[in-house]
């Protein structure tokens, strides 16, 4: 089936990083002109771990600014905030009633996030059901995400199938859209995926000096991970070499990777190129910050209204089929 509509969401959990940019945002930039596109800030998901209200409120706005700064065009892609569309929570409840607990217990991200925690919230457990609701509400064809979210998108297909079988055809089954390379960017530690909570990120707002420090410390030759599901994880260096392919990049990269020499010069080049990519994004971000909050909040109120209307079309069907009307 040809793709016509896509949706993706990002959590407002601190500054976005290169992993988010490559795994999700670059796909939106590529597809926004071709497809009907929805992009939202997953603030309800961000509440599933301890947080401060004031910080969350600020981060939601910061993430929207970052969407615009990286080049998401709000004329082409509707940017909205999840919690401003109550249908997400409503559908999550309904879908949750159809899902055996065991299906959620085997979710990798839940296992990782709840590991060694004394108290795990019901919200964290239900997280993938809310994510299924996010996706199914908009009857999308595809969901561009990084590798770590694939299992969740698959669960949304399972839930759609269950509901359709039980109550009649209601939901479209969405496909996953993954980058060929870059669906899983490793952090600067070279061990785990780049993730804010692991402190191994290069942030989109990092200064050239910070980028340089982080790249200099970053592991160039991490031991190959023994096993992984799905796409092969790549280091920021491998990503860099594809993103900035040129003869000089190739030579220096080869020297460092193969002959284990000139790694300092190679890292300088990598840092310079990454900062060069980030500079216009940071400039635009600052311009947007300087415009203040008023227009941003007006935009978000208007876009939430559009999203609610779209979501409500699905919910009317869902409520009627499920016997709630
Ligand atoms: P989040 O906020 O953790 O990440 C946002 C997006 O960035 C991708 N990503 C990465 N890609 C490659 N390498 C990495 N190191 C890396 N780190 C993050 C993620 O895969 C994701 O695409 N649950 C989601 C948010 C969400 C959502 C949705 C996504 C809520 N509802 C509905 C799609 C559809 C999350 O926590 O992503």
The 10s digit of each residue's pLDDT in 159-215 is 999 999 999 999 999 999 999 989 999 999 999 999 998 999 999 999 999 999 999
- Exposed (0-12), middle (13-18) or buried (19+): which is 227, by Cβ within 10 Å? exposed
The 10s digit of each residue's pLDDT in 26-53 is 999 999 999 999 999 999 999 999 999 9
Strand partners, 5: 36
Of the listed 172, 193, 214, 267, which one is catalytic?
Answer: 193
Ligand 1: atom nearest CA of 152 is: 23
Of the listed 196, 213, 272, 284, which one is catalytic?
Answer: 196
**Among 125, 148, 190, which residue has the most ligand 1 atoms within 8 Å of its CB, making it the best to mutate?**
148
List the alpha helices (DSSP H) in 195-293.
208-217, 236-243, 247-257, 263-290
Cα 70 to ligand 1 centroid, rounded to whole Å: 16
DSSP 141-183: SEEE--GGGHHHHHHHHHHHHHHHHHH-S----PEEE--SS-S
In Å, how far are 51, 84, 317 from 313, measured between CA atoms?
33, 16, 7
Give the number of other Cβ atoms within 10 Å of residue 195's Cβ: 18
- Residue pair 262/254 in contact by the 8 Å Cβ criterion: no
Q: In whole angstroms, what separates CA 121 from the centre of its chain?
A: 22
**pLDDT given for residue 222 in this prediction:** 86
Ligand 1: atom nearest CA of 149 is: 20
How far, in Å, CA of 296 to CA of 21, rounded? 21
- Exposed (0-12), middle (13-18) or buried (19+): which is 224, by Cβ within 10 Å? exposed
Q: Please provide the distance, in angstroms rounded to a whole number, between the alpha carbons at the two ends of the chain.
A: 32
Burial 138-174 (b: 16+ CB within 10 A, else e): bbbbbbbbbbbbbbbbebbbbbbebbeeebeebbbeb
Cα 42 to ligand 1 centroid, rounded to whole Å: 10
124 or 231, greater pLDDT: 124
- Residue pair 183/260 in contact by the 8 Å Cβ criterion: no
Q: Residues lining ligand 1, CB < 6 A? A: 7-11, 19-20, 22-24, 42, 45, 131, 134-135, 143, 145-146, 148-149, 183-185, 193-195
**Among 8, 20, 109, 187, which residue has the most ligand 1 atoms within 8 Å of its CB, making it the best to mutate?**
20
How far, in Å, CA of 212 to CA of 249, rounded? 17
The 10s digit of each residue's pLDDT in 52-98 is 999 999 999 999 999 999 999 999 999 999 999 999 999 999 999 99
Say what the pTM is. Answer: 0.97
Ligand 1: atom nearest CA of 45 is: 30
How far, in Å, CA of 32 to CA of 66, rounded? 16
Cα 262 to ligand 1 centroid, rounded to whole Å: 35
The radius of gyration computed from the CA coordinates of the chain, to the nearest angstrom, equals 20
């Amino acid at each position: 089936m040809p793709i016509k509509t896509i949706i993706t969401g990002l959590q407002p959990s601190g500054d976005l990083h290169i992993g988010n940019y490559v795994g999700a945002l670059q796909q939106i930039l590529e597809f926004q002109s071709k497809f009907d596109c929805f992009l939202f800030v997953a603030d309800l998901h961000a509440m599933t771990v301890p947080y401060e209200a004031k910080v969350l409120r600020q981060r939601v706005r910061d993430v929207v600014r970052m969407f615009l700064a990286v080049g998401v065009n709000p004329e082409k892609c509707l940017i909205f905030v999840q919690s401003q569309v109550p249908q997400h929570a409503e559908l999550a409840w309904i879908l949750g009633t159809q899902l055996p607990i065991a299906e959620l217990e085997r979710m990798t991200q839940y296992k990782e996030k709840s590991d060694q925690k004394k108290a795990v919230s019901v919200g964290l457990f239900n997280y993938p059901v809310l994510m299924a609701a996010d996706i199914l509400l908009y009857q999308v064809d595809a969901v561009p995400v990084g590798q770590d979210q694939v299992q969740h998108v698959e669960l949304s297909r399972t839930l759609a199938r269950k509901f359709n079988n039980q109550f009649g055809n209601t939901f479209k089954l969405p496909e996953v859209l993954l980058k060929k390379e870059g669906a899983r960017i490793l952090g600067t530690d070279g061990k785990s995926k780049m993730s804010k909570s692991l402190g191994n990120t290069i942030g989109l707002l990092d200064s050239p000096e910070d980028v340089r420090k982080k790249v200099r410390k970053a592991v160039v030759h991490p031991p190959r991970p023994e096993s992984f599901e799905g796409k092969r994880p790549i280091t920021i260096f491998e990503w860099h070499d594809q993103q900035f392919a040129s003869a000089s990049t190739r030579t220096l990269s080869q020297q460092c990777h193969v002959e284990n020499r000139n790694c300092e010069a190679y890292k300088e080049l990598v840092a310079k190129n990454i900062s060069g990519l980030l500079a216009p994004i940071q400039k635009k971000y600052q311009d947007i910050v300087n415009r203040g909050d008023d227009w941003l909040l007006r935009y978000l109120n208007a876009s939430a209204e559009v999203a609610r209307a779209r979501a409500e079309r699905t919910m009317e069907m869902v409520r009627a089929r499920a016997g709630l009307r």
